[in-house]
Amino acid sequence: MQAPDRCADAGREPALFLAGGITDCPDWQTRAAVQLCAAGVPATVFNPRQAVFPEGDPATAAREQTAWEYEHLARADVILFWFCAESIQPIALYELGAHAARGATIAVGAHPDYASHLDIVEQLRHARPDVEVHASLTTTVRAAAAALATHSGVLSGG
């Protein structure tokens, strides 16, 4: 599911939110969704990247985008964070801190050339030593798939 579409009920499948950069970043979300599908783990994927960002009032569009993200982050069973090398992504950093602190199930990756790579590694080392920071999108997706598989097993009674 892609923003701005809304999901009335994610159903029995676990839900994954793709958190990370959109502005000045490549479309890593599509690559992650394809890799997740190939892994064969049933999931509803919440993708905040809009195919076409709405024209008109930028403040209204930003408010609607932020509301969509908050709603779907709260619904997600697993949040995949990816920090590409092309941009700092301050909103994604904020979201990582907020959701790591609340104990959410997260899979985190940062490109080795990401400007704040060391900050992410060190902050999570202290706040969430159970969370590995992966160096590629592929390994981050694998970690998210493993977390989703755990949720799938719980949801299906297996």
Outline where DSSP puts E strands in the chain: 15-20, 44-46, 78-83, 106-110, 133-134
- Asked if 82 contacts 107 with a C-beta cutoff of 8 angstroms, the reply is no
**Three-class secondary structure of residue 155 per DSSP:** helix
Measure the CA–CA gap between 8 and 61, rounded to whole angstroms.
Answer: 21
Fold of 15-156: Rossmann fold (3.40.50)
pLDDT in tens, 27-62: 999 999 999 989 888 899 999 998 766 666 778 888
Measure the CA–CA gap between 54 and 24, rounded to whole angstroms.
Answer: 17
Average pLDDT over residues 87-103: 95
- Asked if 92 contacts 108 with a C-beta cutoff of 8 angstroms, the reply is no
Residues paired with residue 44 on neighbouring β-strands, in sequence order: 15
Neighbours of 38 (CB within 10 A): 10
Structural domain spans, the chain: 15-156
Q: Is the peptide bond before 4 cis (omega within 30 degrees of 0)?
A: yes
First-to-last C-alpha distance (Å) of the chain: 26
pLDDT in tens, 59-93: 888 898 899 999 999 999 999 999 999 999 999 99
pTM beyond 0.85: the answer is: yes
Apex 94 CA angle, 12 and 105, nearest 5? 30
Q: Which amino acid would we find at residue 120?
A: I
Provide the pLDDT for residue 61: 82
